[in-house]
Amino acid sequence: MKQRDFEQRYRASWERLEKWLKTGADGDTTLDLPVAYRSVCQQLAVAKERQYTNQLIERLNQLVMAAHHRLYRQQTLRRNTWLRYLLSGFPQAVRAQIRTVWLAAALFVLPALVLGIGSYHNDALVYAVLDPIQVRQMEAMYDPGNRVLGRERGSDSDLMMFGFYIKNNIGIAFRTFAGGLLLGLGSIFFLVYNGIFLGAICGHITRIGFVSTFYPFVIGHGAFELTAIVLAGAAGLMLGQALVDPGRHRRLVALRLAGTEAMKIMYGTFLMLVIAAFIEAFWSSSTEIAISVKLAVGALLWLLVFAYFTLAGREGTQRGA
């Protein structure tokens, strides 16, 4: 291919990229920078191989360097964006929906308290939630006579259990969140159901006297797991609110707007569930750590979680105001 034909074929794309690099996404929102960068790199290689004029090669070389610089800067900004999200964006998103978060917490905690107290005083109540086989399995897991916390596993299975806990925890959170699409009723159901389930287990295990094994096991990862379930429920309730009361928007528009805000919570929620799964697999189930240490660390983790959502990102919010 002659240089003239080569230039005619690709001139429009070069000019488009040059214009984009000057104006950014505001000038052309459809340009895919990674694809354009790879293309101009290939075209530069072809121009060098065919020994086109130095003027053309210099133009393409400058275009490649400018595109590389912009692409690298975008990737750096993207990483910094995630860091800002974790340090401030996530807790700010939670505080922005604090009323919904408190509602989700009430839907989860109150049924847990009712069933916990009820199961503690009435041994038969737990069987309204769990079948006899499940009850026996729970009792076996936390029997002090086993000299283990949770379930007895070799160290080789900890990694496998880590994956299992991630799948299980994220499954619960996703169902709780997605249930909001049923006018919020699904999220309400899963919050209440999980609260009932947890309360029944706590009350029964406490009643039979297995507190020295059960609470040291759950207190550590519970700070992240239980908080994440509440946050997933709150995000689901946001979707339900948009469908029930879309305000001035059409329902689909209101749902899309609510979904955008809800995902600001869900991204962090999924990360919390991964942390919870790690703690549960490698810390909570360990038999080499003293119970007092687990209780102290668990209490500290709860304080850190509350402090994070209460304090993190407030300085940035004040500056923004």
Answer with the one of 56, 83, 110 that is the final residue of a domain: 83
Mean pLDDT of 182-209: 95
- For residues 73 and 105, state if they share a domain: no
- Cα distances from 48 to residues 16, 34, 40, 128, 278, in angstroms, run 22, 21, 12, 77, 52
Residue 283 pLDDT > 90, yes or no? no
Task: Please indicate, yes or no, whether residues 160 and 231 belong to a single structural domain of this protein.
Answer: yes
Of 135-149, 205-219, 240-254, minimum mean pLDDT range: 135-149
- In b/e form, how buried is each residue of 195-230, taking b as 16+ CB within 10 angstroms? bbbbbbbbbbbbbbebeebbbbbbbbbbbbbbbbbb
Mark whether 71 and 101 lie in a shared domain.
no
Residue 305 lies in a domain: yes
Any idea which of 133-147, 239-253, 255-269 has the lowest mean pLDDT? 133-147
Region 303-311 average pLDDT: 96
Shared domain for 76 and 102, answered yes or no, is: no
Do residues 167 and 46 share a domain?
A: no
Tell me which residue of 162, 180, 183 sits closest to 286, measured CA to CA.
Answer: 162
293/290 Cα distance (integer angstroms): 5
pLDDT digits (tens, 9 = 90+) for 102-158: 999 999 999 999 999 999 999 899 999 999 998 988 888 887 776 555 554 444 466
> pLDDT value at position 153?
47
- Count of domains forming the chain: 2
Q: Quickly state the pLDDT bin for 76 (edges 50, 70, 90).
A: low
Which range, of 11-15, 236-240, 312-316, averages the lowest pLDDT?
312-316
In a domain, 91, yes or no: no
